[in-house]
Structure 1
Amino acid sequence: MEPAVSASKGKHEPVPSKKQNKFTNILANKKTLSLNLFAWLFLAPYLIFYSWFMLYPIIKGFIISLYKWTIGNERTFVGFGNYKTMFQDSFFWEALGNTLYFVLISTPTLVIIGILLALIVNAKLKGTGFLRSAFFLPHILSISVISSIWVFVLQPYTGLLTSVLKSVGVTNEIFWLNSTNLAWFSILLATVWWTIGFNMVLFLAGLQEIPDDLYEAAKIDGANSWHCFRYITLPSLKSVILLVVVLQSIGSFKLFGQSYMMTNGGPGTSTRTLVQYIYETGFRTNDMGLASAMSYVLFLVMILFAVVQFKFMAKKD
């Protein structure tokens, strides 16, 4: 005997009318509009402050770069005259070269040391909690404090480093901040001590995202520690490495406090960076138009550098 067929089987569901569809769409659109309105209301305070303190100064700065202007005097429109003056200025090229030199020596150093410190604190050893705090604590200090500490440490005759070297038999006085190569080394040393903790934290976060199963499987297959680092750790950290390289490059391009407070751009102008030269042009020479033009060139160089890094890392992937 065949089962009874349900009375409702075979019957079609009622099709909504055009009026019902239209009403439903209106309600959905009103709901979406209200949600968007609330979202914009919450975003409004941030957007107002961001536009006023970030976007407006950028636009205003470009406008100023087209004028010959000193504070207290009327502006004179010169078009791209400031840019022409800048490119003919040998001090500008020297400052840009010094900045590029620091970027090239600081970025690899901070990336390599950051990875090594992250590997150390990521190891399951006693005292790694203390090491994490010790490595990161300098990052919370201001640049003036950092510079003052290292000026004291590197002071000839009475400095802490000089005293340590004398205790191990070094009798010659070393003038760390008065020789070009040693001055750059001193600035790099202070920068590493100050910023390495932040890079370490980023690499540590990347290391903790790598599954332990990968290392266990590799050890079962006979891989040693170097093989695990080369074929598992480094490939897994590529995105973090790219982030640190870009952030560190931008930070190095903006170098000012360390060189200004430790060496004042010396000896001579051998450690004067572009940001320091922009500061001196704007606030000592009082040439705001030329300083704004230099700032925009620095901005474009940083963008170009970041784009090249992204392209290069993407190709390697």
Structure 2
Amino acid sequence: MMRYKWYVPYLFIFLALIGLFVFRLGPIVLALIMGFTDWSPFGSPEWVGIENYIDLFTSPTFWTIFKNTIIFSAVFVPTIVVFSLLLAVLLNKGLKGTTIFRVMFFAPVITSTVAIGIVWQWIFSTDIGFINFTLRTLGIDDPPSWLSDGRYSLFVVAFVYAWKRVGYYMIIYLAGLQDIPRNLIEAARVDGATKFTEFKYITLPLITPTMFFVLIMSTIDSFKSFEIVYTMTKGGPGVASTTLSYYVYQNAFELFQMGTASSIAMVLLAIVATITYINFKYKSKWVQYRY
């Protein structure tokens, strides 16, 4: 009979733990330390304490970009939560062609973000874009400059990113919908419940755990969006569509201010952690785990 050795289970997860510490936790700790330094890749780091954070919080540019990030998230997250649920409900009906539509909606998820950004950049182009061509055809002589006008660029980028990601969250919702016991739906129909009543009192409450997951993940998704901003607007015009994640890139790889970039990354981490904590704190008020 083999004797149990306490360290055996840890041997099975040893490689995974190495990856976690080296490629996940390690860079976070390093970025935290670098946030208190003034460091360029071409020189040695110099300890400056909280100077980077003071410069950030007293910079009007930072607060403009912070506001942009909040607006981006405020557009992206509700769009994802609502529209991915609506698509999942429609696809869950089991109508003909459901598989084809499932593939169509999920295709953008696995398509390169850069490729999607380039295509949508052409669609929203001021002079040769499909949207402005259509608007001119309808008699609008001076259509908006979607990507070069600060009033529209951030919303356009948020819309395109939501379009790309909606299929992913649709699949998650679809899994949640298919997990709802059929006997509850059938009992409601026997009692004469309408489609709306069935959705309101059965489907929606029982889908709240999935909705909570989608809310958390889409919020994180919105705050770490980078490729779509880089591809479509590069944060412009000015900083009108610059988000915090793109601001980290600018400071790190364009201005080579690694300390400042790290401090921005830590602020971004703190914001996401705070929002996630608040969501978990109040989830018991609306998330239902029991049938």
Q: TM-score, normalised by structure 2?
A: 0.93
The answer to whether structure 1 residue 146 and structure 2 residue 113 are counterparts is: no
What is the CA-CA distance between 1:193 and the residue it aligns to? 1.7
Which residue in 1 is equivalent to 2:182? 212
Secondary structure of the 1:258 match is: helix
Asked whether the 8 Å contact 1:118–1:204 carries over to 2, the reply is: yes
1:313 to 277, 283, 287: 283
2:206 to 225, 233, 236: 236
What is the CA-CA distance between 1:121 and the residue it aligns to? 0.8
Distance, in Å, in 1 between the alignment partners of 2:148 and 2:100 is 36
What is the CA-CA distance between 1:314 and the residue it aligns to? 1.8
Distance, in Å, in 1 between the alignment partners of 2:281 and 2:184 is 28
Distance, in Å, in 1 between the alignment partners of 2:47 and 2:99 is 59
2:96 to 123, 126, 131: 126
Query: Tell me, which stretches of 5 or more residues in structure 1 are unaligned?
Result: 1-26
Which one-letter code corresponds to 1:67 in the other structure? T
Q: TM-score, normalised by structure 1?
A: 0.86
Asked whether the 8 Å contact 1:157–1:173 carries over to 2, the reply is: no
Query: Tell me, which stretches of 5 or more residues in structure 2 are unaligned?
Result: none
Secondary structure of the 1:155 match is: coil
Distance, in Å, in 2 between the alignment partners of 1:168 and 1:131 is 30
Which residue in 2 is equivalent to 1:32? 4
Distance, in Å, in 2 between the alignment partners of 1:310 and 1:222 is 36
Which residue in 1 is equivalent to 2:77? 107
Distance, in Å, in 2 between the alignment partners of 1:80 and 1:189 is 36
The answer to whether structure 1 residue 225 and structure 2 residue 198 are counterparts is: no
Residues 1:174 and 1:85: Cα distance change in structure 2 (over 3 Å): closer
Which residue in 2 is equivalent to 1:75? 45
Distance, in Å, in 1 between the alignment partners of 2:35 and 2:18 is 25
Which residue in 2 is equivalent to 1:269? 239
The answer to whether structure 1 residue 51 and structure 2 residue 21 are counterparts is: yes
Which one-letter code corresponds to 1:128 in the other structure? T
Coordinate RMSD, CA, aligned: 1.6
Which one-letter code corresponds to 1:183 in the other structure? S
Q: How does 1:164-313 map to 2 (within 5 A)?
A: 164-313=134-283
Moved over 6 A (4+): none
Asked whether the 8 Å contact 1:207–1:233 carries over to 2, the reply is: yes
Query: Which one is further off, 277-286 or 294-303?
Result: 277-286
Aligned residues with identical type, % of pairs: 33
Max Rg structure: 1
